Amino acid sequence: MKTYSFILLLMISSMAIAQRSAPDQIETKKGPLLIQPILHGTVMFTWDGKTIYVDPYGGAKAFEGISAPDLILITDIHGDHMSVETLEGIETSNAIIIAPSAVTEKLPDNLKAQTTSLDNGKKIEKLGISITALPMYNLPEDSESRHTKGRGNGYVLNIGGKNIYLSGDTEDIPEMRALKNIDVAFVCMNLPYTMDIDQASSAVLDFKPKTVYPYHYRGQGGLADVEAFQKKVQGANNKIEVRLRNWYPSYE
C-alpha cells in the first residue's frame, strides 16, 4: 500500500508539472534568463544561478519540482499576490523578500524578518538585480478603488541588462504608458479588478515592449480573451511579440 501511494504521488506531481507551460528563454549579458509561468499573476525567473518568484500563489503544489527561491517579489496585499499560505508552504528560509510597506505590515513575524520594504519610486539592488518599484492602481483614484495609489507595486527589474516590467494589479495608468526600453512586460487584464483588453492593448502600444505576456487575466466573467488582445497589439505593431502561455493549469 505504501509503494502504491508513493507511485500515485509521483504521478500526480508529474501531471502538475506537465500542465505548466514550458519555460521561455531570453539571452542577457550574463547568461540566459528563464521565464516560467506558474499561476495567474505568479511567475518564476531563473538567472545566473538564482531563482526569483513573483507573487507566489497557489499553495505548495503549484511549485512542485521547482527550485526554492533566492528572491521573492510581492506586489500587493490581496491573497492572489500576498499568499501567506503559499509562503509558509514552500521553502523560503534562504529567500530575500521585497514588498511594499502595506504588505510587510501584514506578514507574520518570521517572514517580516526576511522582508525589505520598497515603496513606489524607490530602487534597490539585490543579488545583482536592480529592482524599481512603480505605482499600480485603479482609475479613477477614489476611496472605492480596489487598488489605491501608493499601496502596491509594479516592478521593473534589470536582469543582465534586460528590463522586465511586472504590472501588478493596475489600470492603464500614465506611469505604465510612460515606460521606456522594456524588453519583456507582464500585463494584467481582468475586469473588474484591472483592465480590459482594449485598455491593456492601448497601453502596450504606447510603451512598446519588445515582448509582452498577458497574465493575471481571470476575472469575474472568466478568462479574458487574450487571443483578441494579441490580435489588437500585433495588428497595430507587428514588432511587439505577444506570447500566450498557460497561466491556469488544473492543479490550482
Domain of 179: which CATH number? 3.60.15.10
pLDDT value at residue 142: 67
Look at residue 10 and tell me if it is in a domain: no
Task: State the cell numbers at 26.
Answer: 531570453
Look at residue 7 and tell me if it is in a domain: no
Look at residue 13 and tell me if it is in a domain: no
pLDDT value at residue 19: 82
Look at residue 14 and tell me if it is in a domain: no
Look at residue 30 and tell me if it is in a domain: yes
Look at residue 252 and tell me if it is in a domain: no
pLDDT value at residue 8: 35
pLDDT value at residue 72: 98
pLDDT tens-digit series, residues 95-133: 999 999 999 999 999 999 999 999 999 999 999 999 999
Yes or no: say if 23 and 52 are a contact pair by the CB < 8 Å rule. no
Residue partners of 190: CB distance under 8 A and separation at least 6: 216, 217, 218, 219, 224
pLDDT value at residue 146: 82
pLDDT value at residue 20: 87
Q: Which domain holds residue 142?
A: 21-242
Count of domains forming the chain:
1
| C-alpha 140: how far from chain center | 24
Look at residue 107 and tell me if it is in a domain: yes
Residue 141 pairs in a beta bridge with: none
Look at residue 2 and tell me if it is in a domain: no
**pTM score:** 0.91
Positions of the chain with pLDDT lower than 50, given as ranges: 1-16, 252
If you search the block for the grid coordinates 521547482, which residue do you land on? Answer: 66
